[in-house]
Structures are given as C-alpha cells and as structure tokens.
Amino acid sequence: MRALIQRVVKARVTVRGNSIGAIGSGLVVMLGIARDDNEDDARYLADKIVNLRIFPDQKSSFSQSAVEVKADLLLISQFTLFASTRKGKRPSFSAAESVDKAKPLYEKALGIFKSSGLKVETGRFQEEMLVEIQNNGPMTLMLDSHDRHEPRR
C-alpha cells in the first residue's frame, strides 16, 4: 500500500461540480492499494501517517504529529500510485489491486484513520475527482507499507 501525503492549509474534493469533502489545516492522503496488500498494510500506514512528526512548532519544522496538532485528513483513493512507466509510453497499472478487492480494503483503511479521532473527509472511490490542494511547506512524502520489511541502510 502506498500513500502520498501532503501537508496542507486547506483542501477540497469535488465530483461533478459538487463538493464532497473539505478540510482545513492537515494532510491530504492519496492512498493506493497493491495486489498483495492487506489490513496489516492499512494499519501500518494509518499509524505511521497520523504519528509522523511533520508539523512545525516554534522550534522545529518537524516536531509534531497530526494527532498532536489535531490535523484534519482528506483520504483519496489513488490507484495510479502503482503505475509502472518502465516500458512503452502508456502507464501500466497491473500492480494495483482490482476494484472489487481494493474497495473493501480502502474502506477498512478509512475506518482505521477515523479511529485516530481526527476529522477524516474522503473523496469517492472510483470516481473522477477534482482535488484542490493548498500545500503547506511544500511538504510532500511518499510512504510504502512494504518498506517496513526492508533492512535499514
């Protein structure tokens, strides 16, 4: 499972001109699900994201977590995080999980994020969305749940 997270001042997602989710200061989480992902991957990423020290205080730019600052979260499904552009000119999405298996895992991940106690808004699974992001920093990080199995360098 991959997450592209951006620290934002505000963000909003619309579908067909209708606003369906909006947050103030917090994180936009673009979440991609791979074929071999499971609930452990969702738990790992959710815990990592809400506890990463990526919000500033008076002393440091990276000293507080989303939980500590009571950040808002905007969770957007994003299968394109598993695009492969290695061959040809068209991306391949063969590493992304199928819709019928990804949707229940996305919903499980959503529940895990909500259990953090933070305000969580969402996009709409498998819909064309317009996501407006006012990035703060800018601060953008890519996390992959499979990295937890890699040895430290």
What are the pLDDT digits (tens) for 99-114?
Answer: 999 999 999 999 999 9
Average pLDDT over residues 128-151: 94
Residue 78 known to be catalytic: yes
Q: Is residue 18 one of the residues assigned to a domain? A: yes
Q: Is residue 153 one of the residues assigned to a domain? A: no
What is the Cα–Cα distance from 18 to 129, expressed in whole angstroms?
10
Q: Is residue 57 one of the residues assigned to a domain? A: yes
pLDDT tens, position by position, 46-99: 999 999 999 998 888 899 999 999 999 999 999 999 999 999 999 999 999 999
Model pLDDT, residue 59:
86
pTM listed for this prediction: 0.93
Mean pLDDT of the chain: 95
pLDDT above 90 (res 15): yes
Residue 79 known to be catalytic: yes
Identify whether the C-beta of residue 33 lies closer than 8 Å to the C-beta of residue 102: yes
What is the Cα–Cα distance from 37 to 16, expressed in whole angstroms?
30
CA angle in degrees (0–180, nearest 5) for 120-125-127: 120
Number of domains within the chain: 1
Identify whether the C-beta of residue 123 lies closer than 8 Å to the C-beta of residue 76: yes
CATH number (domain holding residue 37): 3.50.80.10
Model pLDDT, residue 5:
98
Active-site option among 6, 62, 64, 79: 79
What kind and span of H or E run contains 9? strand 2-15
Active-site option among 78, 82, 113, 122: 78
More confident residue, 9 or 59: 9
What is the Cα–Cα distance from 144 to 4, expressed in whole angstroms?
9
Model pLDDT, residue 70:
98
